[in-house]
Amino acid sequence: MNHRVVWLETGQSFEVAAGEAVLEAALRGEIALPHECQFGGCGTCRIKLVEGAVGYTSEDGEAGELPMGLSPEEAEAGFALACQARPSSDLVISVAPPLACSSPTLLSATVEGVQALTPDVTHLRLRLRLPEDVELVYRPGQYMNVQLGDGRHRSFSMASRPNGGTVDFHVRRIPGGTFTEQQIATLRAGQTLDVEMPHGNFCFHAEDYRPLVMVATGTGLAPIKSMLEALMDDEDCPPVSLYWGMRTEADLYLHDEIQTWADRLYEFQYVPVLSRASDSWTGRRGYVQDAVLADLPDLSEHAIYLCGSPTMIADAKVAFAARGASMDHLYADSFVFQMV
């Protein structure tokens, strides 16, 4: 049985065939619902069910579990992942329309610098080569796709605020990774890459005007850094708490720089958390989400941004909901790595 889906914010509607996922039907009907991984891991396609119900069953009707990118608390609050959800009735869904920015544009970019920040993290700086008639508008927190030349791409969040044509990235080495281990090792200043940007809907929501709790693991710091740079010296900047989870002291590749941000952000608190700290480490230990819970017994008034490890994000969503976190003010960008 077919079901009709209405997108509340845009008024668009489309039909979902029996056994079809919401996102699959939307894309078939050229409806631009936000999405990325399409297997339920990243959470980019999160929608809110205003009317109707969905299930997570396979195409042949077998009952399934909630996808990794959706917590039981989010499902209880009426959220679903469009890439996996299959309607069991007609739906009215709510999802913010695409960001007010440029459509994804294929560009050439010149490598301005390649610098090792740690043995596993590289700082890549690109200068975008924009045609004279192209104005590129993007939001802090978004990402770009690096084209590999064979029809594949790799996605990297921008680690700097929009500032013209120069963009920074923090590229984590993935053993065996086509780009992160093989191609980036040969990059030199002056070479060019084909990139497509902007992508994604992970961005700062100024309309919330709540104290910010920003939680990152690894290079999940990159889009959060981009957002915080855009808030620096802003009179409307809310209080900011940044929790950054890494394994060892040597992995904290921006530790010194982050400590200077207190001069330019309102009531800024920085808490690095190490899961494999040495005996000489005097800071916080364990998992980064647990450090948040130890410091903030009530999260009901905060806007929360999670970025990095899918496991951290899944755990944090459950734990933070138990502390009163509003699922309407929780935003996540899960880094799902590709190698081949």
> Does residue 198 have a cis peptide bond before it, meaning omega lies within 30 degrees of 0?
yes
Task: Choose one of 199, 216, 250: the last residue of a domain.
Answer: 199
Residue in the block written with tokens 């003010």: 329
**Same domain, yes or no: 69 and 156:** no
In the listed set 199, 231, 262, which residue is the last one of a domain according to the structure? 199
Token digits of residue 248: 């060892």
Q: Report how far residue 17's alpha carbon sits from residue 29's, in angstroms, rounded to the nearest whole number.
A: 12
Determine the Cα–Cα distance for residues 157 and 226; give it in Å rounded to an integer. Answer: 9
Q: Does some domain include residue 100?
A: no
Distances (CA, A) of 85 to 31, 50, 78: 16, 14, 12
Model confidence pLDDT, tens digit, residues 28-44? 999 988 887 788 878 88
Same domain, 63 and 152: no
Instruction: Tell me, yes or no, whether 83 and 114 share the same domain.
Output: no
Residues 197 and 124: their CA atoms lie apart, in Å, by 16
Number of structural domains (the chain) is 3
Specify whether 43 is located in the same domain as 85: yes
Q: Are residues 211 and 283 in the same domain?
A: yes
Determine the Cα–Cα distance for residues 145 and 171; give it in Å rounded to an integer: 12
- Residue 102 pLDDT grade (very low, low, confident, very high; cuts 50, 70, 90): confident
pLDDT single digits (tens) 205-227: 999 999 999 999 999 999 999 99
Residue 60 has pLDDT above 70, yes or no: no
Distance in angstroms (rounded) separating the CA atoms of residues 249 and 252: 6
Q: Assign residue 109 the CATH number of its domain.
A: 2.40.30.10
Please state, as a whole number, how many other Cβ atoms lie within 10 Å of the Cβ of residue 205: 15
pLDDT tens digits, residue range 175-186? 888 899 889 999
Kindly state whether residue 99 falls inside one of the protein's structural domains: no
Domain that holds residue 325: 206-334
Task: Name the least confident of 36-45, 187-196, 318-327.
Answer: 36-45
339 within domain boundaries = no
Residue 226 counted as domain residue: yes
Report whether pLDDT(305) > 70: yes
Among 94, 119, 138, give the residue marking a domain's end. Answer: 94
Same domain (yes/no): 151, 221:
no
In whole angstroms, how far apart are CA 324 and each of 47, 129, 318? 20, 46, 10
Which CATH number goes with the domain that contains 220? 3.40.50.80
pLDDT in the model for residue 340: 42
**DSSP category for residue 41:** S
307 and 230 housed in the same domain: yes
Strands in 79-81's sheet, in edge-to-edge order, are 13-16, 3-7, 91-94, 46-51, 79-81
